[in-house]
Amino acid sequence: MTLLAAVDLGASSGRVMAAHLREGRIELTETARFPNRAVTVRGRLYWDVLGLWAGILEGLRALDGPVSVGVDSWAVDYGLVGDDGHLVANPVCYRDARNAAAKTEILERVGAAELFAATGIQPQPFNTLFQFAAETTSARRALLIPDLIGYWLSGVPAWEATNASTTGLVDLATGDWSGALAERIGLDLGLLGPVTPTGTVLGPVLPEVAAATGLAASTQVIATASHDTAAAVAAVPYGTEHAAYISCGTWSLVGVERDTPITTPAALDAGFTNERGADGSIRFLRNVAGLWLLNESIATWRLQGHDIDLAGLLAEAARVERLRSVVDPDDARFADPGDMPERIRSYCAQTGQPVPGTPAEVAACVLDSLALAHRSAVEGLEALTGDGVEAIHVVGGGANNGLLCQLTADATGRAVLAGPDEATALGNALVQAQALGLIPPGPEARRAVARASARPRRYEPRGPQAPWGRAAARLQPARVA
Ligand code: LFR
């Protein structure tokens, strides 16, 4: 048996997972979980990256002799470090307002179509590209969050490929930073080193980390698939069907894996993006604002003193009349932290729909709306790729939300295969195991271990499709407005 450590940082929590590799299977156990939340100071929204670091060290301390450590997190965000290797500024959260103005300004200089053709990345305000443009800095290096943690663990700076692709600065053709694009928009690429291949062994943990955690001095730090979505996609237990995936957590990333990107105007208009997969594949996907709407609603109710238990809320939401009111989860008004139920109510009122009152009604509205958004993304995938989607793998925390999985099956008319819920940590560990030669290279060997490690739960579609089609049509004018 071999023990690997997977550090997985999400927008609402971080954890350290022990991954036991034994007889072609990986078994995961959580050794530490710590909260993560963006914090506002003087109107700027920051991540508490030092709190995360403290949680990571504590989690590593609880492990019994891992051979390696790999870190993944949400994409696009970064820490700036100076010549002496110290942080020169606290990492800013991608939901901060500063990026929207930078996006407008850059798109005036380089059109969205040109950016999309060069990098394959859907122009969204949070892309690192726009964040850099909003930054004034005397820093020496910019390291994306998992690379920053990897640097603190190993002393070796890296720019791991799957996460680098999300910045909007990597040339689709070469897989390295686009000098031409940087020049066009006046960005200094000096903050970035060469893109690091996924699965690169960076080196052993620093002596100070070994001392703080009890890890052996020989423990290797590995640049795993450090974009959480890439790690999750690397662990999708595909069967024989032609299937799409939904990596479902704070966001729902709805996509397929392909060999080639799609950078047509239709793909740009439909909101699709081309991110790199663990083996250099293309993750062609759409970002749907996922369980963020539900989680932020629950946080609001709890702040207001309501005693909310998720299982109870979902059970009640299942009994609410379906498709009473629906929202477009990607509407810009839902992007910021804060009172989500109020914004959902005002959306429903403005679009002439019944206004959800109780928490269960709001939750039902959110889950119906997410299922509808999944349906629209799957339709978009089929239209743009020309390939039928026969089944949908839902992985990540959302795989445990039985109501959302069932509604996604109902709305799309496809079977949903739910799980593993820990796909991100599993993919993180699988890529490490491959880097160390513990399992053979390539996607198939990895998926074989993924299949052996978790058996998905199957949800068959119920009822007619027509009500979902009508609800989607109801949303059209709202989208345009
Ligand atoms: C999911 C995710 C998405 C990315 C978003 C912002 O956790 O990584 O893939 O678009 O967060 O970084």
Can you tell me the ipTM of this complex? 0.95
Residues 217 and 240 in one domain: no
Residues 268 and 413 in one domain: yes
d(CA 233, CA 307): 35
Residue 206 in any domain: the answer is yes
Residues 244 and 195 in one domain: no
Residues 294 and 406 in one domain: yes
Cα 74 to middle of ligand 1, angstroms: 5
Residues 294 and 335 in one domain: yes
pLDDT of residue 84: 86
Q: Whose CA is nearest to atom 9 of ligand 1?
A: 229
Which residue, of 161, 195, 226, is where some domain finishes? 226
Measured CA distances, 265 to 57, 269, 270, 327, 480 (Å): 46, 6, 9, 26, 18
Which residue, of 164, 191, 226, is where some domain finishes? 226
Q: Whose CA is nearest to atom 7 of ligand 1?
A: 74
pLDDT of residue 432: 98
- Three-state DSSP class for residue 187: coil
Query: Is the CB of residue 202 below 6 angstroms from any atom belonging to ligand 1?
Result: no
pLDDT of residue 88: 92
Catalytic residues: 228
- Give the CATH number of the domain where residue 162 resides: 3.30.420.40
Contact 249, 423 (CB under 8 A): no
pLDDT of residue 335: 95
Cα 73 to middle of ligand 1, angstroms: 8
The residue written with tokens 């990897």 in the block is: 150
Q: Whose CA is nearest to atom 1 of ligand 1?
A: 74
Query: Is the CB of residue 263 below 6 angstroms from any atom belonging to ligand 1?
Result: no
Q: Write phi, then psi, for 431 (nearest 5 degrees).
A: -65, -35
pLDDT digits over 76-110, tens only?
A: 999 999 988 899 999 999 999 998 889 999 999 99
Which of 8, 76, 131 is the pocket-test mutation for ligand 1 (most atoms within 8 Å of CB)? 76
Query: Is the CB of residue 74 below 6 angstroms from any atom belonging to ligand 1?
Result: yes
- Three-state DSSP class for residue 34: strand
Instruction: Tell me, yes or no, if the pTM score tops 0.80.
Output: yes
pLDDT of residue 477: 57
Q: Whose CA is nearest to atom 10 of ligand 1?
A: 75
Residues 22 and 115 in one domain: yes
Number of domains in the chain: 2
Residues 115 and 206 in one domain: yes
pLDDT of residue 413: 97
Residues 116 and 208 in one domain: yes
Residues 98 and 73 in one domain: yes
Residue 365 in any domain: the answer is yes
Beta carbons within 8 Å of 402's beta carbon, 6+ residues apart: 314, 418, 457, 459
Which residues in the chain come in under a pLDDT of 70?
Answer: 477-481
pLDDT of residue 136: 72
Residues 158 and 257 in one domain: no
Residue 350 in any domain: the answer is yes
pLDDT digits over 45-71, tens only?
A: 999 999 999 999 999 999 999 999 999
Query: Is the CB of residue 434 below 6 angstroms from any atom belonging to ligand 1?
Result: no
d(CA 356, CA 342): 10
DSSP code at position 251: E
Which residue, of 226, 258, 286, is where some domain finishes? 226
Atom of ligand 1 nearest to the CA of 275: 9
Which of 36, 47, 74 is the pocket-test mutation for ligand 1 (most atoms within 8 Å of CB)? 74
H/E run at residue 206: none
H/E run at residue 341: helix 340-350
Residue 446 in any domain: the answer is no
d(CA 147, CA 151): 6
The range of the structural domain enclosing residue 321 comes to 236-419+456-481
Query: Is the CB of residue 229 below 6 angstroms from any atom belonging to ligand 1?
Result: yes
The end-to-end CA distance of the chain, in Å, is: 57
Residues 277 and 160 in one domain: no
Residues 370 and 467 in one domain: yes
Nearest of 479, 480, 474 to residue 352 by alpha carbon: 474
Contact 432, 6 (CB under 8 A): yes
Query: Is the CB of residue 250 below 6 angstroms from any atom belonging to ligand 1?
Result: yes
Cα 266 to middle of ligand 1, angstroms: 22
